Structure 1
Amino acid sequence: MNITFDIGNTRFKYAVFAEGNMLHNEILDLNTKNQIQIMETIDKYMINTNSVIVSNVGKFSELNYLNIKNKVKKLLIVSDKIKLPFKNKYNSNKSIGSDRIALASGAIKKFSGNPILIIDIGTCITYDYLNENNYYFGGAISPGIKIRLLSLNRFTNNLPNIDFKVPPSLIGDTTEGSILSGVFYGILSEIDGKINMYQNENSKLTVLLTGGDSRYFAGKLKNTIFVEKNLLLDGLNFLIEINE
């Protein structure tokens, strides 16, 4: 049995795999209250676990790493130093996020041999491109929903800090509605525009949409996409398999 941990900027995700199949997964907010639950989760599944892999772009203490390492046969930390299923053409190998490595790995496991654009919508929106020969080139990073909403509040005098919901219409008839429309349709236009630009470079492009906030946009995009909500967790398990 394998366990995959994805520690993001705001959420903690984990999944339990056996023989390549996902048996269980859960998502928790990364806050002080849930730190105890995270530790309990680690303890609960460690008994019959062979390997654990961690992708960490957030805050995961050395104590948590030590707790895992003492209970499993193998602990794998995602970085450019482990064996990867793609050839890395990113100019700054050491700065590539472990989440982007895991996403690219998951994409190759399912769609190898195709040019792929991975769009991950979370705290940030990341775009990652692989060609048909499994070369990873990088892509783009832009602000996600929460960052855009917070920025409008923090860098203006009068705009409120609001919670996100899909706006009822394109034209906002209140300040809140106008903010929601600007953020939602701004991201929607950005994603469709990015897909179009990549398709101009390669008409056979396969587009994968993933991430916690992808559910807001999946049915609204003009372009054809594949929704892969567990792409990162699947990619982490694939990395365990090729690093055995």
Structure 2
Amino acid sequence: MNLVVDIGNSRVKLAVMESGRCVAERVAERFSAAVLGELTAAFPVRRAIVSSTRGDAADVAAAVRAQGIPCLEFTPQTLVPIASDYLTPHTLGRDRLAAAVGVTVLWPGRDVLVVDCGTAVTIDLVTADGTFRGGSISPGLRMRFRALHEFTAALPLCDVPDSDELFGRSTSGAIGAGVLNSLVFEIEGYIGRLRRQIDGLCVIFTGGDAKYLTKRIKNAIFADRNPVFCGLDRILEFNASEEDLP
């Protein structure tokens, strides 16, 4: 079994992977040695990989190694089993690259558009030949709500509305409709243009806020298996045997 630690902008996710499938998962705001210990005590973890968008992967990797588990720190120098057209690979988010690897495992031989709805919304294209072609980054739902509240004098801080109406009939309703619909239209614009260029394009949604968007976008697939977990697991298997890891 492999341990995967994905440190994102807002949350830390740990997963135990067996034969490419997640058998246990924990989510927290911060990395916890106690949670790590719980997982390693319950499952025979033989090796691990740590990925971070915050820059603290080395400390977490050290904590994993302190439990006697060989651990790979996912860095820009780490080899990955896909090609990339990205011009600045050292700035490419580890989570974006891991998700790109993951979709080649989950949907092999397909052209896949990966829409990751987290703190930021990333829309990335992986082509059928296993190449990461790049993508876009824009503010996520919560960031958009916060921006309207924090950069104006009177607009309230709102949350995602239950309604899918185009227009709100109150200020909070108008903010909810504006934020949610603008993101839906943004994503639909990417999907529509790419589907005119790529036959059989597969559109995959992942991330904590994907549930608000998939029900509003036609022919969208919600990834029931986390492509970042699958990608990190594949990268770990690709790079080293247990004996080779630090």
TM-score by length of 2: 0.90
Is the contact between residue 58 and residue 73 of structure 2 (CA under 8 Å) also seen in structure 1?
no
Is the contact between residue 168 and residue 174 of structure 2 (CA under 8 Å) also seen in structure 1?
yes
Alpha-carbon RMSD across the aligned residues, in angstroms, is 1.7
CA distance in 1, matches of 2:73, 2:196: 36
Name segments (4+ residues, structure 1) moved above 6 Å: none
CA distance in 2, matches of 1:11, 1:119: 18
Q: Any unmatched runs of 5+ in structure 1?
A: none
Aligned to 2:205: 209
Aligned to 2:29: 29
Q: Match for 2:228 among 226, 232, 236?
A: 232
CA distance in 2, matches of 1:45, 1:153: 40
Q: Does 1:74 align with 2:78?
A: no
Aligned to 1:160: 156
Identity of aligned residues (%): 28
Aligned to 1:96: 92
CA distance in 1, matches of 2:210, 2:192: 18
Bigger CA drift: 140-149 or 110-119? 110-119
Is the contact between residue 10 and residue 58 of structure 1 (CA under 8 Å) also seen in structure 2?
no
- SS for the counterpart of 2:152 is coil
Deviation at 1:59, TM superposition (A): 5.8
Q: Give the paired residue count.
A: 237
How is 1:142-157 mapped onto 2 (pairs within 5 angstroms)? 142-157=138-153
Bigger CA drift: 45-54 or 209-218? 45-54
Residues 238 and 216 (structure 1 numbering): CA distance in 2 closer, same or farther, change over 3 Å?
A: same
Is the contact between residue 49 and residue 233 of structure 2 (CA under 8 Å) also seen in structure 1?
yes
Deviation at 1:115, TM superposition (A): 1.3
Aligned to 1:60: 56
Deviation at 1:168, TM superposition (A): 5.5
Deviation at 1:165, TM superposition (A): 3.4
Q: Deviations over 1:153-211 (max 9, x none)?
A: 11111111223333353221111111000011111111111101111221221111111
Deviation at 1:96, TM superposition (A): 0.5
CA distance in 1, matches of 2:188, 2:68: 43
CA distance in 2, matches of 1:62, 1:74: 13
Deviation at 1:61, TM superposition (A): 6.6
